[in-house]
C-alpha cells in the first residue's frame, strides 16, 4: 500500500523566546525546532520550567518568537500583528486549557457559542452548532448549567466542545488532564484520540504526564527550552 505523505501544518524553525525583566534576560526557548504534520497526534512533554508554556504560546500563535520562524500551513506568522494572529487562531486552532477557562456567568451552551461570535456566525447557527457539540461530549442535559454547577470533568468536556466550535483543523490541549482524576482524564484523552482517528484533526497535547505518551504518534521531550529527544511510534 502506498505511503501517505501528510503535509506539514506547523513548523518551528530555530525558535528562541527571550523575556526581558528589567536588566535581566530570561531565555524560555533556545533554538526549538519542531515539525507537526496534518492528522498527527503529538505530545510535547517536559517537567515544570522546561519551556512548555512558552512552546504552547508559539505553536498556538499566541505569541511571536524573539528569533526564528513559525510557519502555519507554509505561512510565516513570526512577525504578524496580534489582530492577524487572532483571526488565524480563531479559524484554524481550537484551544483546551488545564483550568478550562470557561466564563462563569455564561451557561455551557453560551460558552461553546462564544468563539463563533468572532467569526461572524449568525446566532441561530451558533446555537445549533453548540448544541450538537455538547451532545457529542454527552452534555446534552447540561446545556443551561453554568460552570459552577458542573463537575471538573464536565467543565473540561464543555471546554473541548468550545474548542471545536469553529471546526478547526488543529486542537491544542495544554495539560488537558491536569485537574482531573485518572478515570475522567482517560475519557478526555480517548475523545481527543477519536478526533484524530475519525476526523483527521491534528492534535497537540502539552503535558508533564508521561502516561499520555501512549496516545501519541510522536513525542517531543522538552528540557531547558529545547527538544532533547523525539520519538515516533
List pLDDT tens digits, range 155-171. Answer: 999 999 999 999 999 99
Global pTM reads 0.91
| Secondary structure of residue 48 in the 3-state scheme | coil
pLDDT at 5: 66
Taking the C-alpha atoms of residue 221 and residue 56, their distance in angstroms, rounded to an integer, is: 14
Taking the C-alpha atoms of residue 15 and residue 11, their distance in angstroms, rounded to an integer, is: 10
pLDDT at 91: 87
Instruction: Please name the residues in contact with 157: beta carbons below 8 A apart, sequence gap of 6 or more.
Output: 137, 138, 139, 188, 191
List pLDDT tens digits, range 93-122. Answer: 999 988 899 999 999 999 999 999 988 899
List pLDDT tens digits, range 175-229. Answer: 999 989 999 999 999 999 999 999 999 999 999 999 999 999 999 999 999 999 9
Q: Which homologous superfamily does the CATH classification assign to the domain defined by 40-64+80-232?
A: P-loop containing nucleotide triphosphate hydrolases (3.40.50.300)
Amino acid at each position: 500500500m502506498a505511503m501517505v505523505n501528510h503535509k506539514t501544518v506547523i513548523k518551528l524553525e530555530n525558535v528562541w523566546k527571550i523575556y526581558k525583566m528589567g536588566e535581566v534576560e530570561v531565555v524560555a526557548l533556545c533554538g526549538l525546532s519542531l515539525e507537526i504534520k496534518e492528522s498527527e497526534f503529538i505530545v510535547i512533554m517536559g517537567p515544570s520550567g522546561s519551556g512548555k508554556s512558552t512552546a504552547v504560546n508559539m505553536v498556538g500563535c499566541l505569541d511571536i518568537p524573539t528569533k526564528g520562524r513559525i510557519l502555519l500551513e507554509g505561512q510565516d506568522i513570526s512577525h504578524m500583528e496580534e489582530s492577524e494572529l487572532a483571526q488565524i487562531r480563531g479559524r484554524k486552532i481550537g484551544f483546551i486549557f488545564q483550568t478550562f477557562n470557561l466564563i462563569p456567568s455564561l451557561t455551557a451552551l453560551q460558552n461553546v457559542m462564544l468563539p463563533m461570535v468572532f467569526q461572524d456566525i449568525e446566532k441561530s447557527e451558533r446555537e445549533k452548532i453548540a448544541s450538537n457539540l455538547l451532545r457529542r461530549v454527552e452534555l446534552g442535559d447540561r446545556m443551561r448549567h453554568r460552570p459552577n454547577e458542573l463537575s471538573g470533568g464536565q467543565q473540561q468536556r464543555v471546554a473541548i466542545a468550545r474548542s471545536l466550535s469553529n471546526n478547526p483543523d488543529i486542537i491544542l490541549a495544554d495539560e488537558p488532564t491536569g485537574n482531573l482524576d485518572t478515570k475522567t482524564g482517560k475519557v478526555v484523552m480517548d475523545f481527543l484520540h477519536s478526533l484524530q482517528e475519525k476526523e483527521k484533526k491534528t492534535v497537540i497535547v502539552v503535558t508533564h504526564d508521561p502516561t499520555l505518551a501512549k496516545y501519541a504518534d510522536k513525542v517531543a521531550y522538552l528540557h531547558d527550552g529545547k527538544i532533547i529527544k523525539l520519538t515516533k511510534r
